[in-house]
Amino acid sequence: MEKIKKGEVNLDDPATTLALIKLGSVLGVKGTFNNDGSLNAVGLSCAVCHSTVDDAFAPGIGHRLDGWPNQDLNVGAIVSLAPDLSVLTSLLRVDEPTVKKVLASWGPGKFDAELNLDGKAFRPDGKPAATLIPPAFGMAGVNLHTWGGGWGTVTYWNAFVGNLELQGEGTFFDARLNDPNKYPVAARAGFGNKRSPNDMVTAKLAALQFYQLAIPPPTPPAGSFDQAAAARGEMVFKGKANCAQCHVPPLFTEPGWNTHKPAEMEIDDFQANRAPDNSYRTTPLRGLFAHMKRGFYHDGRFTTLLDVVNHYNSFKRLSLTEREKKDLVEYLKSL
């Protein structure tokens, strides 16, 4: 660490990266090494997307923050560096330049978990179909755990990602993915009924779920919001703005089937229609400060919390004053 402080370690050197992987110091990256010390294989864990560090030592170096979305991770750029993209070109039935164009469109902090199901790389307006990497903390008591409605609880998504995204050796079943109209890519590939004779995923799901549900939402740091304004904003949240009708405290999402149709939110239905029940999940609000960097909603379309408040103020005709809107923002930052 002292050498890093003195600038005596080249963090861009592959040899340094290999040494750090051997030490288990690269978050979310696991390496298998040969007897001579050379790298044999590399794999990724949930932490690569759903954990980050607090930069306590230096940018990108610090204490683990499990459950926090990695807002700086450029998944598309990393995947595009693979020497062989034939798995994706074959699956999607497109050429390599097309795959690289899609991957380049995602940007930091985003990933398209449905691309390998429906093959839809871009929205009708031409913008990328990728969505923000969601937080994985504060999930206890929350039914649905992803942006689109109907996918399933945390253990469903863990099985989905472990088998279909990270391509682990395991078993996964979801007959909905056999629909050739809604999920043509998944139907062709047989993703709805994956059966590995060497299942190394299923036995880990219970422990993973237990740990993930135990991750509490982080507490906003001192000084990150105006306490007096937040206290006033809580009254707006529960009263005039009626936010608590859907974001029910203390879960700040609905107990039960926590989804809404696009028309109820006055937004487009593109991402909702990629989900099994054509709806959007009511996002839990605790720990919002931990994932404000890339915007709000599933695709980051609203840059600030004030943009979100203005959207609902207009749509719901709430007639909030400027002070009430600012107070509401401070309350959201305090959750």
User: Which residues share a beta bridge with 33?
Assistant: 39
Residue 7: pLDDT above 80? Answer: no
Residue 265: pLDDT above 90? Answer: yes
- Give the end of a domain, one of 15, 38, 65: 65
d(CA 35, CA 214): 38
SS3 content of the chain, % helix, strand, coil (to 5): 40, 10, 50
User: Would you say residue 284 lies in a domain?
Assistant: yes
Residue 2: pLDDT above 80? Answer: no
Q: Which of the 8 DSSP states describes residue 278?
A: S
Residue 313: pLDDT above 80? Answer: yes
| Span 170-210, pLDDT tens digits | 999 999 999 999 999 999 999 999 999 999 999 999 999 99
Residue 120: pLDDT above 80? Answer: yes
Average pLDDT, the chain: 95
User: Would you say residue 18 lies in a domain?
Assistant: yes
- Give the end of a domain, one of 31, 50, 65: 65
Residue 8: pLDDT above 90? Answer: no
pLDDT bin (cut points 50, 70, 90) of residue 264 is very high
> pTM value?
0.92
Which ranges in the chain belong to alpha helices (H)?
2-5, 14-22, 47-50, 75-80, 86-92, 96-106, 115-118, 154-160, 184-189, 202-213, 227-238, 270-273, 305-315, 322-334
Please state the domain count of the chain.
2
User: Would you say residue 236 lies in a domain?
Assistant: yes
- Give the end of a domain, one of 65, 92, 118: 65
| Span 21-71, pLDDT tens digits | 999 899 999 999 999 988 999 889 999 999 999 999 888 899 999 999 999
Structural domain of 280: 227-334
Residue 267: pLDDT above 90? Answer: yes
Residue 104: pLDDT above 90? Answer: yes
CATH number for the domain that contains residue 315:
1.10.760.10
User: Would you say residue 141 lies in a domain?
Assistant: no
The percent of residues in the chain predicted with pLDDT above 90, rounded, is 87
pLDDT bin (cut points 50, 70, 90) of residue 10 is confident
pLDDT value of residue 128: 97
User: Would you say residue 209 lies in a domain?
Assistant: no
d(CA 303, CA 307): 7
Residue 4: pLDDT above 80? Answer: no
Mean pLDDT of 105-129: 97
User: Would you say residue 45 lies in a domain?
Assistant: yes
